[in-house]
Structure 1
Amino acid sequence: MERVDPMPPSDDVGQRADAYAAAPLLNCLLREVAQPLPESGERRVYRLPGGGRLLRVRGERRPTEPEVHADGVWQPLGHADLVKLVADELRRHTGVSNDELPIEMADSRDAVAALLTARAGATPPDDPYLRSEQSLITGHPYHPAPKARGGGPVTGWLPYAPEAHARFPLVLLGVREDTVVEEGDTSALDALGTAPPGYRLLPAHPWQLDLVGRELAPAFADGRLVRLGTTAFEAWPTAAIRTLYEPRRDLCLKFSLDVRITNDIRRLWRRDLLKLRRTDTAVTRAFAGIGPSAAWLGDRGYRTADFAFEEVAVLVRDGLRGRLLPGATPLLAAGLAEGFHGNPLAAAADPKAWWEAYLRQVVPPAVAAFADHGVVLEAHLQNCLIAVDASGTPVQALFRDAEGVKLLPDVSPAAGWERLVYTLVVNHLTEIAAALAEHHPGLDPWPAARREIARHRLPEIAALLTSPTLPGKTNLLLRWTGADGADARYLPLPNPLLGG
């Protein structure tokens, strides 16, 4: 089934880019700041408390056609006007000014335009897994600037963009042996080529080398680093952009990338690398007791140089073949919500049964890891793969990214549970449920979700099913007020599980 474009049909790339970029920005504004008014027709109306203005939109999951009421009439807002409105409202609402975020919002919209243009002339991968990873034109549906690429020129980042169906060879470096820092199993890196005597192989992301080239110039000059050409194969960037996959070798590598994407600069930070083995070991042990229908894609180890620890770090992740059930096809959960050619969510002949199968694969591993092993998975859409059988029915969930995992008692049980509820229920299940209901009108996905969650007997579950609210992350306010990207802040959202 072809991808269902949630945006209005138009031959104008600019209008389509406006619509794509406006949807997540509106989602943030409506969730975090605006006050809904009683429904009055096909458009939903909100009051903006900072100045009392009225805003209305069409649709719910991906709101479109924003209009503001001024001078007695409803006036349409293009993306640039919407950015100005949001910035003005946030200044009034928070008392804080921010000159950077509006620029990121505009950059995100311009990136979408560049991606739409590039996709029109690109050939998508044949592999449905790669298609799902490279499908995210909207990206994070509740972030004000999900496609911003650090403000750099399009020519600098577009060759490496998964949304443009990019693929490219890796740069091979030799790092002098006495400067190598590594931990865990990095043997996959040594199979990429041949290093000269006294050196070890270190693959590099070409975009990262462009970004940090000046910092590495002294190391190239004195021989601590040498260039060894490029790999004989091309790798595909996944939804995470800095994580690349080469399917024939089943090779998955994660790199540093000195670019702000959503809330964070995407470096492999020293603090995270140094605790990687402890975290990954804990998650691996947890999944050993969960059962064969769930899998953890472990972060095996990392290699870097002591003089550029974060800048040139590369992390080796488990490939898919050794973790997948026989005959199953993995798909990115975020891609199921976004849509791509061959999306089984859209094509499900029995959406109720499909959803029940989905819940059986996703919910139990995340709950068991927390309840039985003190492991808080970051179970959001981009960190979860759903494997389907030949009929498109979910048969397995695969989780990834040790960097985002929390362990008890490093965080309190209450904080860990709140994080799990946000990533699993609010970020993940809510979005898949909405996409499924959008494709299959009349389906109410929440009774089945409530039944699946209720099967797990722990006090937190009982509280979850009776709470009037769930925690929603405030990405717009977080970015506007300049909070640390890892410092999650939540506001209460209506709980769809209540009485479902």
Structure 2
Amino acid sequence: MHSPPTAEAAVAEELAVVRPGLVSRYAAELPGARAAVLTRLWRALAHEPLPWLTDRADGPDGLTLRLADGRRLHGPRPDPYATAAYVRAVRLDEVAYDDPARLMTDLAVAHGSAFAVELGHSVASLALSRAGAPEPSATWPVHDWEWERRVVDGHPYHPGCRSRPGFSVAEQLAYGPEHGPLVRLGLLAVAAGECLMTGGWPDELRDGERLLVPTHPWQAEHVLKRTCDTGIDARPLMSLRTLELPGAFDEPCGPHVKTALSARLTSSVRDISVTSVAVSATLSAFAQTLAARLDGLLHITRTLGAVTANSPDIAAVLRESPQAYAAPGSGERVVPVAALSTTGLSDSPAWLADFTRLALTVGLRLLDLGVALEAHGQNLLVVLSATGAPVRLVYRDLADIRVSPARLARHGIPVPELTGRLVTDDVTALRRKLFGSLVAGSLAGTAGSAAALRGALQSAVPDLPRTPDLVALVEEPVPAKALTLMRLSPGAPGDQWTGLPNPLR
């Protein structure tokens, strides 16, 4: 019997059929993709509470990890905030590994085989993404989708940064934002009486008594098993399932539509639950009230409307474009934080300190009021002046924030009618939500190293009010999701966490 081809070989074979002109570039990108995924995996091995690792020992030539069975794994001293691919190989006993999938296979830990398959897909898809991405340009983009296609490598710290199981090579090329496609969204007609709708729904997405639900073509083919008679062209954004619609719908910029896409991307299936549609208008109105308390430093994109056919498989959410918050004629640009590293701005310590000060000011003030944002580089955007200075923030997608009724009440803010996982007064949960996404995510990913993050925090923190939340940020380990542990714990629901070394200590 022949072994099935590796993910790298399988992608090469399909690419030779659907886009032969990319084959050589794909092959050239594979070593760098392996190093990028291996670097992320090594970060997890060094810092996550993996049960089969019993000891971690720093030495003059790097870090040595002891496995429960006595084997030793050795690699470079890890930087938990590095975004560059600096790990080219690690040694398991005396054998060197440059392939993260092969390493995970030979570690032979519980659930490791399935995760190894994901790592193989992540490497192959990352190489494909890099091969198909445009050449870097010094000219800054104009449209939202142009900024977001610059985020080629996906999540800066997740080993499954580009794992797209269930997507063929042809589908990755057709739907991945880094490839710059125009995606034909289906418009699925559903009787209005069979839908739950909150907010408004534009006339352009109605057909008499029926609502037209924008439907991702992957969802239509693989989940709904049906075709749509009509459609609309859109540009995919970095989350893949959210797309920029043409400039219409009475908005100054084309709105964004989050579509149902029942595929597991990176870690989980991120559907649009019936509950999230039901509370979307309440959350949007509540968010505008909070943003008004931030002295103009924060905008939160409005939810224009949400609809579901009482199923997470058929649902959509319309949001205004973040570009609506650039002052007309000012030369301002609204840039996703995940794309800041492509601008060169963060190479300046002074600029990075200014951005860090702005982000922490907004995040901590909002946390004190009673809301913890999921402020990672995809949800958080920054308004840059014509000279590139960070002047305001924009936040989008309220589906995973946390709201503290006790903190809201302390400030005399009416508590919205929300239930479930959105609501908590647990201080640890609130701080994990904000610090894990903002500090271990947005700020670390923009800084690119522990040293750069340390310098930015040292400059920014003295200017901030010394609240209990700030003290925790300065003195305690920085919370971060234990992303690899979560993938190796399929029976454990919810997020799992680790603490990263605090760059200020």
Whole-Å separation in 2 of the counterparts to 1:230 and 1:10? 32
Indicate yes or no: 2:144 matched with 1:144.
no
In structure 1, the residue matched to 2:499 is 492
Counterpart mapping for 1:48-197 below 5 A: 48-50=66-68, 51-57=70-76, 60=79, 61=82, 62-68=85-91, 70-71=93-94, 75-85=96-106, 87-88=107-108, 91=109, 96-119=110-133, 126-127=141-142, 129-187=144-202, 190-191=203-204, 195=207, 197=208
Q: For residue 169 of structure 1, give the secondary structure of its aligned residue in structure 2.
A: strand
The match for 1:361 is 358
CA drift of 1:209 comes to: 1.0
Instruction: Summarize deviations over 1:200-225 as a string: whole Å, max 9, x none.
Output: 222222122122233xx5xx8xxxxx
The SS at the match of 2:399 is helix
The structural deviation recorded for 1:488 is 2.0
Q: Secondary structure at the match of 1:136?
A: coil
- The alignment's TM-score, normalised by the length of structure 2, stands at 0.80
**Structure 1 Cα separation of the partners of residues 158 and 151 of structure 2:** 13
Pairing of 1:202-221 with structure 2 (within 5 A): 202-214=213-225, 217=226
Match of 1:388 in 2: 384
What TM-score, normalized to structure 1? Answer: 0.81
Q: State the secondary structure of the residue aligned to 2:213.
A: strand
Give, in whole Å, the separation in 2 of the partners of 1:260 and 1:10. Answer: 24
CA contact (8 A) 1:243 1:255 kept: yes
Q: Secondary structure at the match of 2:448?
A: helix
Pick from 417, 420, 426: which aligns with 2:434?
A: 420
Structure 1 residues 436 and 345: alpha-carbon distance in aligned structure 2, compared to 1, 3 A threshold: farther
Would the aligned equivalents of 1:55 and 1:66 in 2 still touch at CA under 8 Å?
Answer: no
Where does residue 224 of structure 1 map in the other structure? none
Give, in whole Å, the separation in 2 of the partners of 1:155 and 1:48: 42
Contact 2:100/2:116 (8 A) holds in 1: no
1:301 counterpart SS class: strand
Paired residue for 1:475? 483
Alignment gaps of 5+ in structure 2: 1-24, 406-422
Matched residue, 1:252 = 256
**Residue pair 1:378, 1:405 contacting (<8 A) in 2 also:** yes
Q: Report the CA distance shift for 1:76/1:173 in structure 2 as closer, same or farther (over 3 A).
A: closer
CA change 1:488–1:358 in 2 (3 A) is same
**Aligned partner of residue 182 in structure 1, secondary structure:** strand
One-letter amino acid matched to 1:497: L
Aligned partner of 2:475 in structure 1 is 466
CA distance 1:328–1:126, shift in 2 (3 Å): closer
Identity across aligned pairs (percent)? Answer: 23
Structure 1 residue 125 displacement after superposition: 9.2
How far off its partner does 1:301 sit? 2.4
Counterpart amino acid of residue 305 in structure 1: A
Q: How far apart are the structure 1 equivalents of 2:136 and 2:174? A: 11
Aligned-pair distance for 1:379?
1.1
For the residue of structure 1 that corresponds to 2:183, the secondary structure is: coil
- Tell me, yes or no, if the aligned pair for 2:63 and 2:77 is still in contact at 8 Å: no
Q: Output the CA distance in 2 between the equivalents of 1:26 and 1:269.
A: 34
CA deviations 1:69-90 (Å, max 9, x no partner) are 544xx634223322324x42xx
Distance 2:186 2:246 in 1: 18
RMSD: 3.0
Structure 1 position 46, deviation (Å) = 2.5
Superposition deviation, residue 36 in structure 1 = 5.0
Q: By how many angstroms is 1:360 displaced?
A: 3.4
Structure 1 partner of 2:240: 241
Report how far residue 317 of structure 1 moved.
0.8
Structure 2 counterparts to residues 363-378 of structure 1, below 5 A: 363-372=360-369, 374-378=370-374
The structure 1 residue matched to 2:448, chosen from 417, 434, 452, is 434
Distance of 1:381 and 1:448 partners within structure 2: 21
Shift of 1:473: 1.5
Give the CA deviation at 1:39. 4.3
Q: Could you tell me how far 1:483 is from its partner in structure 2?
A: 4.8
CA distance, structure 2, for counterparts of residue 128 and residue 437 of structure 1? 33
**What pairs up with 1:338-349 in 2 under 5 angstroms?**
339-340=341-342, 342-346=343-347
SS of match in other structure, 1:283:
helix
Partner of 2:433, secondary structure, is helix
